[in-house]
Each structure stands twice: as C-alpha cells, then as structure tokens.
Amino acid sequence: MTDDAHLVAAAREGSLDAFDELVRRHQDRAYRLALRLTGDPHDAQDVVQDAFVQAWGALRTWRGEAAFTTWLHRIVVNRASNARRDRRPTEPLPPHELLPQVEAAERGALASARREAAVRAVAELPFEQRSALALHYFADFPLAEVARILGITEGAAKVRVHRARRSLARRLEDWR
C-alpha cells in the first residue's frame, strides 16, 4: 500500500487517482471531526467537501512542512470555524450520533438526559476550546499535532483542552 507522501507527490503532479485515494483514506476521520465541530451532519459534509476542494487547489503550493493529515485537519477546522461564523446556531445532533452507545444497564431516561446534557455542554464550548477538545479526544491527535493543526503552541493546545475539560466538568457537575 502506498503511503500518503507518495500519494501527495503523485497528486501534486496532477494524478486524480492519487488524490482520490487520499480522500478515501481521510474522509471519514475528517467528517467525524467536522461533525464534532459543527454539530450538524449537513454542515459537516459541506465542511469536508470544501476542505478537500481547498486541499486539491492548494496542493501544488503546499510546502509539506507537516503530514498531509495534519494539514487537512487544519483546513477542516478552519472551514468549520467559517461555517460556524456564517450560519446561525443549530440544534446539536441527537446524542446517539455524537456519543458512543452506553451499556444496556445504563439505558433509560436518566442516561438519555445525561448524554443530552453532555452533547449540549460540548456544543456550548467556545469554538477554540471545542476544536482542541475534538482534535485531541475525538480525533485522537496528540497535543503536539493539535497544536500544529490549530497553528498554536503545544502549551496553548494543552491550555485549551484543559479549559474545555474544566468547563465541561462545571457544566455537568449535577450529573456526577
């Protein structure tokens, strides 16, 4: 299997097949991140599509200082930020689309209310905190990569994640 660097090199030379393979490899993870950032499946699809269109257009001039996945996720975060700014707030996704299913014993009204509160609390975080939290916990990027994607220092990424977690803990205190 060809690695991303070879696919990027081929795509830079104009290979649509190589870029299609990059899209196939990264679209699901990019979508999950966009969904966490926008809270809306349609907006997330638009964000990912726009991100790949932008990546294709900028691929020849991209300096390649970071991994393709880092660069792509930065574009996704920027596009999600633009979408958030350009649209009015929307209702968050139903909890079952954002959070993993809970064990059968926890299902019921209380568990459902708890999940809804968690989804609402994440959606209400400032975008800077939500994006750092989503990249670190939902997209599984280490803090150094979160920093690169967001264009901030690793220390700033740690602070944003810490503040997001602290804010979530305060908002969800009643559910402990």
What are the phi and psi torsion angles at 104 (to 5°)?
-55, -35
Cα–Cα distance between 29 and 70 in angstroms, integer? Answer: 12
Q: Does residue 110 contact residue 119 with C-beta atoms inside 8 Å?
A: no
pLDDT digits (tens, 9 = 90+) for 8-31: 999 999 899 999 999 999 999 999
Tokens 């977690």 correspond to 165
pLDDT digits (tens, 9 = 90+) for 32-48: 999 889 888 899 999 99
Residue 63's pLDDT is: 86
Cα–Cα distance between 84 and 97 in angstroms, integer? Answer: 19
pLDDT digits (tens, 9 = 90+) for 52-83: 999 999 998 888 888 999 999 999 999 999 88
| Threshold 0.75, pTM exceeds | no
Q: Does residue 51 contact residue 75 with C-beta atoms inside 8 Å?
A: yes
Tokens 């559910």 correspond to 175
All domains in the chain, ordered by first residue: 1-90 (1.10.1740.10)
Residue range 130-137: mean pLDDT, rounded: 91
